[in-house]
Chain A
Amino acid sequence: MAISVLAIVVTRNLFSVIVLSGAYSFLMATVLVALDAVDVAMTEAAVGAGISTVLLLGALHLCKSLEAKPAHKPWLPLAVSVATGALLVYGALGLPDFGDPDAPIHKNVVPRYMKNEVEVPNVVTAVLASFRGYDTLGETTVVFTAGAGVIALLRRRKQGSEKASGDA
């Protein structure tokens, strides 16, 4: 996965970058299965590797497929990124160990979810639709809004208004 990420960073041909990011998504889905997040892995495989790739290719079809050579040397961004990374690693050392059952994340609301009050065996579905129904409603609205935004941005204007905006 790290290799494909490095390849994404250095490659300038956007087509290969998109194919690489699809491969990266599949690898990420595999990692998620290993981490027991089967629902998330399924979504990631369908969304990241399927829909995003198609969308990126569709957008690429409308744009130039070769990235311009960077005008200036990327030392400053590199320094900023490395500094941020070092800070984050330092912070990560204070987190609970991997797979520690006593971590705070497992102690608060989760035991109640696991009692399975709604008798739906897949707890992810139960939490998604029932316990956190408001979140999911808001989130569906976000998806709806994004779709409306894309429609507003990309809808083909009628001939008259096209001319009017061209004159302006």
Chain B
Amino acid sequence: MLAHFSNIITVFLMVAGLFIIIARGNLIKKLIGLSLFQTSVYLLYITPGKLIGGTAPIISPQYTVYSNPLPHVLILTAIVVGVATLALGLALAVRIREAYGSIEEDEILERDRGVEAEEAKEARS
């Protein structure tokens, strides 16, 4: 069990992010949940690369055991892409707020339903 402790933490973070995304209606909260989920993915990638007794993958004559550099590269790009997509999501949220006056999912859906009902009434008359 102890050998999988890191994985269990990863899973916990992932599930917390998932829960925020599903259960909360606020769009900004959802985006924070999404970035929580992302950080758990960082852990998922980085932890298998760690070697006990290893050091950071910067070659130097003093060390012989290095941790695996490949996940570091992948996650490095993932972080920057993550913040770029976060900014894009926030921009969408701001525009939604300007169009609907709210960033709560329920209120947005309600307004959409209201508009649809009105359109249907107009079509009938």
Contact = CB atoms under 8 A, between A and B. Distances in A.
In-complex A–B contact (CB below 8 Å): yes
Interface of A: 1-2, 5-6, 8-9, 14, 17-18, 21, 24-25, 28, 31-32, 35-40, 43-44, 47-48, 51-52, 55-56, 58-60, 62-64, 67-68, 70-71, 74, 77-78, 80-82, 84-85, 88-89, 92-93, 95-99, 101, 103, 105-106, 109-110, 113-114, 116, 121-124, 127-128, 132, 135-136, 139, 142-143, 146-147, 149-150, 153-154
B73 A128 contact: yes
**Interface size class for chain B?**
35 or more
16 contacts: A5-B12, A5-B16, A17-B32, A36-B54, A37-B72, A40-B79, A44-B79, A52-B86, A67-B24, A74-B19, A81-B15, A89-B7, A95-B7, A123-B58, A146-B85, A153-B94
The 7 closest A-B pairs by CB, nearest first: A146-B84, A99-B52, A92-B7, A77-B23, A85-B15, A36-B67, A97-B3
A117 to B, nearest CB: 11
A63 B48 contact: no
Q: Chain A's interface: helix, strand, loop or mixed, by majority?
A: helix
A105 B32 contact: no
